[in-house]
Amino acid sequence: MVLLRGWDRVGLLLASRVARNVRLNPRSNSRAQLRCYPNTVARQAVRFLSPLSNGYRGMTEGRPYSKAGIDEILAVNTTCKSAVVMQISRDVDSIRVNVVDRSGKTHRPTFRVAYWHHLAADSRGASETGTVGPKAAITRSDHPRKEIKAGAMGNAKKTKITVFLIKDGYTKIDEFLSFKDFRVVPIHSGGKEVGTLIYKGGFQSRPPWVSIFEGVSGFDARGIYNQSSKAVLVLKHGGRWFCFTFGYARHLIDELAYERNFGLITSLNLAEPSSIKSIDKTNVGLVSLRSREQATKEIPLASFEFKDDVDLLRSVTAKLPPSEDEEQETVSGRDSVTIYTVVSVEAFAEIASRLYAAFQSTRYKKKYPWLGKIREERDLRIIEALDARLAESIFKKDFEKIWLAIPELVAWEEIEGFAFGYRSEDPKKAGPILYQDLDIESWRQSARVDASLSAKQLKTKRIYVYWQDGREPTTWSVYRCLNAEVDHDRKKYILNDGDWYNIEGSFVNEVQQFYAAIPTSKIALPPYGTKTEPEYLKAAAAGNPSFALMDRKEVMIGGGRSRVEFCDLYSSKREIIHVKRYGGANLLSHLFSQATVSGECFLHEAAFRMELNKLLPPTFRLANPNAQPRASEYEVCMAVMSRVKGPLELPFFSKVSLKHAVRSLQNFGYRVTKLKVSQ
């Protein structure tokens, strides 16, 4: 049996003309698979192709098959004398037919048929004449499309492609790409080598919803599968490797091998500042807080809610300036570049050249000078020293400025849990322990690290995300999930998403000076000893009648859609005290954010004050909750429970977050202080 595939109406008509005893395969929803016996193919192919192509029986004239809505015929001579298989495939607006002879050699393109999308329009009684040959085309005189010339970018079409740039120093493909059991095909065009195509297809999985209806009368689950494929085109330009990925092939690339921020820098250089469609950002104070903002039309980056000293720009999507006679391209990127453009085999080298030139440009530094506040460290000697400090701190359980966080945006509702090991294929063996969040202490205990721990081991050890729908677990290296702050050679370095960043000295000084200028509160809070945060707050309120315990007493805001904790302790002297045990930048930043929201609601929302009055003890209640309070009469205190000796010290990005909170509260009119609660 020989398999012929036809897409849409045109594909079916073409395939059916060259196949006898055609039968449809009912298991395919997206395309019809046609089967025929090989001994009928050559005879039926010649019968159908003779009026269309001078590659058969010397015919030079013919007409397209108008009932199929065919618009143009492009013919190219072929040396194939005894066709045995016709392979019919679909482009965006064409049906492409290849002929394979008995020796297995593919003759392409045998011919290509460009068809009109509106198949029913003017399909009967159309009169079309012309000469069909290698350099001629039959066209409808009333069709608005441009004439397509044979041989001119026959496979070109507009599509979305994703491109990775491999770091310098790699000489062979298998040094950065894992492709065992994949097919490898050298790609040539016009007698020149384009690159290497590495691909694999036929991955099938059953959709999770099928199990819901199994056993229901009339429901037939046979043939219901999700099917995917993956491919990578690898080519070299300017001494650097480029990977064009298709499907889920990006996971074949070593995650530490590709150039970080290649997509971001390239996109910013290619796009105009006023043409941004969306941004992805990470709040470096709330390290785990990642968000995406989208605009309904192109706008400047400054129009997004983006704070350049607390938000780290991770990716952008933008429209490129339109070129003559071409539709606007769309580009987006972070580590990779995704661009919607015209693509053909011949175009890949030109696309790589264009993207590489944009990546090397420094134009973005002039357009966005604030990007220099946080820079990626590329000095290998410094990186090795930082990695050594990191491994030593993990071994010694010094986690004050080290934590784990997932490195990519995910749909949390689809996650079943996190694990530090891969599931066994043996159903008799117990599966890995699933955690609902990433915790560095739990990981260290599971990994059983010793003094030999190194960055190389951290890059080898894996963290797995298990999904509720049963798909293959997503995995990242532990190193990529680590976040850390390290002081080295009197400079501040941040580890984020597998890369070290050097924080600009002037930015560090600005933050440190602001932090030092925040007054220390004179509120007397007792040591916390061995108590947990709730135990301590309860004891502090019980031991001092001037304190009202407000911990975990939440006020509804936003029409009941969210809740806000006013504070942890409220004093009779109008001191609003927020307390948090030291636990890393993300926890402290949450404290500062909560204080800002609480302070704004208390000042501007009468409904908030009315609900708050119900939670306050009688002697602490507001005399008139409808009247707006004077912010200057209140002190907002940020208190941190810390066992570290000396003055209160916070992670750098916590200081950045605190700076924003203090400024906001001061703008409201509050007096803002900081306080250390000793052990």
**pLDDT tens digits, one per residue of 254-303:** 887 898 889 999 999 998 888 899 998 877 655 556 788 888 888 888 88
97 pLDDT above the threshold of 60: no
- Residue with the bigger pLDDT between 406 and 542: it is 542
Q: What is the mean pLDDT of residues 592-612?
A: 92
Q: Which helix (H) or strand (E) holds 75?
A: strand 70-75
3-state SS, residue 279 = strand
Whole-number pLDDT of residue 104: 54
Amino acid making up residue 279: I
Half-sphere exposure of 564 (CA within 13 A, CB side): 23
pLDDT value of position 211:
80
Query: Would the pLDDT of 470 be above 60?
Result: yes
The encoded tokens of residue 282 equal 């990470």
CA–CA gap between residue 615 and residue 608 (Å, rounded)? 11
| Cα distance between residue 170 and residue 179, in whole Å | 16
Contacts of 384 (CB under 8 A, 6+ apart): 455
- Residues with Cβ within 8 Å of 111's Cβ and at least 6 positions away in sequence, in order, are 49, 52, 53, 55, 73, 74, 75, 76, 97
- Over residues 541-552, the mean pLDDT reads 94
Q: What's the pLDDT at 429?
A: 58
**Which pLDDT band, with edges at 50, 70 and 90, does 98 fall under?**
low
What is residue 558's predicted lDDT score, i.e. its pLDDT?
65
pLDDT of res. 215: 78
Residue 67 pLDDT: 29
- What is the per-residue pLDDT across 298-351, written as a single tens digit (0 to 9) for each? 888 888 888 777 777 888 999 888 765 566 788 999 889 999 888 888 889 999
Angle between helices 8-17 and 38-49 (to 10 degrees): 110
Q: State the Cα–Cα distance between residues 313 and 276, nearest whole angstrom.
A: 13
Q: Which residue has the tokens 């590709």?
A: 258
DSSP 594-645: HHHHHHHHHHH-HHHHHHHHHHS-GGGS-S-TTSPP-GGG-EEEEEEEE-SS
Residue 343 main-chain phi, psi, to 5 deg: -130, 140
**What pLDDT was estimated at residue 4?**
35
Q: Which pLDDT score is estimated for 128?
A: 29
How does residue 409 score in pLDDT terms, banded at 50, 70 and 90? low
Averaged pLDDT, 64-72? 29
Per-residue b or e along 365-390, where b marks 16 or more CB atoms closer than 10 Å to that residue's CB: eeeeeebebbeebeeeebbebbbebb
Please write the tens of the pLDDT for every residue from 625-677.
999 999 999 999 999 988 777 888 887 878 888 998 999 999 999 999 999 99
Q: How many other C-beta atoms can be found within 10 angstroms of the C-beta atom of residue 404? A: 22
- Listing DSSP states for 493-551 in one string gives EEEETTEEEEEPHHHHHHHHHHHHHSPBP-------TT--HHHHHHHHHHT-TTEEE-T
The pLDDT of residue 598: 94
Euclidean distance between CA atoms 71 and 93, whole angstroms: 10
99 vs 504, more confident: 504
User: pTM of this prediction?
Assistant: 0.54
**Mean pLDDT across the stretch 479-507?**
86
Query: Contact, 498 vs 407, CB < 8 A?
Result: yes
Judge whether residue 566 has pLDDT over 70: yes
According to the model, what pLDDT value does residue 73 have? Answer: 28
- Please tell me the predicted confidence (pLDDT) of residue 329: 86
What is residue 647's predicted lDDT score, i.e. its pLDDT? 87
pLDDT of the residue at 288: 52
Q: How far is CA 604 from the centre of its chain?
A: 38
212 vs 605, higher pLDDT: 605
How far is residue 165's CA from residue 486's CA, in Å, rounded to a whole number? 28
Query: What mean pLDDT value characterizes the chain?
Result: 74
pLDDT at residue 326 in the model: 61
Q: Which of 440, 454, 476 lies closest to 387 in space, CA to CA? A: 454
Determine which of 119-123, 477-481, 605-609 has the lowest per-residue pLDDT on average.
119-123
Round to whole Å and give the CA distance between 25 and 29.
Answer: 9
What residue type is assigned to position 353 of the chain? S
Q: Mean pLDDT throughout 147-153?
A: 31
Cβ-contact 290, 334 below 8 angstroms: no
Contact 341, 161 (CB under 8 A): yes
Tell me the C-alpha distance between 92 and 88, whole Å: 14
DSSP per position, 215-238: T-TT---TT--EEEEEEEEEEEET
Question: Which DSSP letter does residue 166 get?
Answer: B
Tokens of 67: 């009932």
Predicted confidence at residue 37, as pLDDT, reads 31
Question: Average pLDDT for residues 572-586, to the nearest whole number?
Answer: 82
Query: Between 376 and 252, whose confidence is greater?
Result: 252
